[in-house]
Amino acid sequence: MDIHEYQAKELLSRYHIHIPRGGLAYSPEQAAYRASEIGGDRWVVKAQIHSGARGKAGGIKLCSSDHEIVAAADAMLGAKLVTHQTGAQGKLVSRLYVEEAMDIEREIYLGFVLDRKSERIMIVASSSGGMEIEEIAEAEPDSIIRATVDPGVGMQDFQAREIAFGLGIDNALIGRATQTLMGCYRAFVDYDAAMLEINPLVVTRRGDLVALDAKMSFDENALFRRPHIAEMRDKSQEDPRETYASDRGLSYVGLDGNIGCIINGAGLAMATMDMIKIAGGEPANFLDIGGGASPDRVAKSFRAVLHDKNVETILVNIFAGINRCDWVAEGVIKALKEVGVPVPLVVRLSGTNMEEGRRILAESGENIIVAETLAEAADKAVAAWRSFTAGKAA
C-alpha cells in the first residue's frame, strides 16, 4: 500500500527528520491560505498522487505570489497527471500540498527497501539526488552506496555515519545525517514498511538537512496491526479493478489484455499468462484464487474479472491440490447463473476430484469450453476470443 508525500513526511517527522513547513489544500483558495500560514515569499505547490516524476509532468510548481499559487492549484486540481509511472491513463489530482521553498545547496538520494536476496533491509544512497534511482544507476553507478542491516541487532550508529561520510556530507552535518538515517530505519521497522525513499534529501544553504520529498509503501499483510497506516489508504489512486478484488480478499493484478484469468497458484498463473501470449493472446489480469476455493470465492473471482470491461474471454485454469475440482466447477456454475458471464468461458480442471468436476460442468447444460491441458486451454481461449471479437465487429 502506498501513501501520499505529505503523509510520509508526517510519519517521518515523528522520528526527528526535518521536513519543510507545509499544509494540505483541496482548493486554489485554500492553497493560497496555506501559503499565508507558512509565511515567506516563495512556496512550492505539489500535486499529491501515487507516482514519481511529478515535476516533469507539471505536478510541482514554484510560486512567488498568491496569484501564481491560485493559478497553479487551479490547473492541477481535478486534472489527470500523466507520468511514465502512471501510464497513459494518468492519476487524478484531488489534493495539493503547499510548502515553503528551500534554498538548496546540494541534493542526496536516500532509500530503504526489503532486499529479497539477502533477506534484509537494504539502504541505498547516492550523492546524486533529485533523479530516480534507475537514472542514477545508469548515469552515475559509482555514486551509489549500498548497505544491509543485520536483523539481529538492527541498524547501528556507525553504519549511519559510514553512509554519511560516503555521501560526502560536511562534518558539521554528520550528526544530523546519522539521526536522519537512524530515524528512517526506525520508521521503516515500526510501520512494517516495504519501501522508504527520500529523494531528494537536501542540504540547505543554512546548513540543515531536510527531506524535500518522501515516499513510503507498506506490507499489506501487516496492515491489520497498523490501523493508523491503513487509514491513510487513498483508493482513488489505485487501479479500480485491483481495489475491487482486494476488498474481497482476492490476489489480483490488472493487465492490458482481453483474456481474463482465474487460476490457483502464482506459478501456474504466470505459466498460464505465458501460454496465452505464446498462443497469440493478451492476458487481462493475474488472479490467484488461492487454496480452499469455495464456490462463493470462485463466483467472487468471476465478478472481479468481469469488473474489467476489456475482458472478452475468461480462462479458468485449476490444478487442484488443496482445492477441489468439484468445488471450482460448482463455483463456475454458480457464477454463470448468478453473475452472468457474457463472454466465452474456457475451463481446464486437473487434480483432486477432477472427474467429478468435469462431470458437473458437462451436465450443467451451460456453454463451457473444456480443455484438458494448459496448452490446449490457452489455444482454445485465444481462439474463443478471436471468434468473439470477430462477431462483435460484424
46 HSE (CA, 13 A, CB side):
25
Please, which residues have CB within 8 angstroms of residue 156's CB and are 6 or more apart in sequence? none
Q: Is 85 helix (H, G, I), strand (E, B) or coil?
A: coil
In whole angstroms, what is the distance from residue 146 CA to residue 112 CA? 10
What sign for the dihedral angle of Cα 169, 175, 178, 183? negative
- Whether the CB-CB separation of 28 and 74 falls below 8 Å is answered with yes
Q: Is 320 helix (H, G, I), strand (E, B) or coil?
A: strand
Annotated binding-site residue numbers for Mg(2+): 199, 213
In whole angstroms, what is the distance from residue 292 CA to residue 324 CA? 7
Burial (CB count <10 Å: 0-12, 13-18, 19+), residue 196: buried
In whole angstroms, what is the distance from residue 132 CA to residue 29 CA? 32
Bridge partners of 114?
121
Annotated binding-site residue numbers for ATP: 46, 99, 102, 107
In whole angstroms, what is the distance from residue 269 CA to residue 288 CA? 7
Q: Is 46 helix (H, G, I), strand (E, B) or coil?
A: strand
- Cα-only R_g, the chain: 25
- Whether the CB-CB separation of 26 and 96 falls below 8 Å is answered with yes
Active-site positions read 109, 197
Q: What angle do CA 101, 183, 227 make, to 5 degrees?
A: 95
Of all residues in the chain, what percent are helix, strand and coil, respectively (each to 5)? Answer: 40, 25, 35
Residue with cell 533523479: 131
Please, which residues have CB within 8 angstroms of residue 114's CB and are 6 or more apart in sequence? 120, 121, 122, 194, 195
Among residues 131, 127, 129, the alpha carbon closest in space to that of 143 is found at: 127
Annotated binding-site residue numbers: 46, 99, 102, 107, 199, 213, 264
Q: Is 160 helix (H, G, I), strand (E, B) or coil?
A: helix
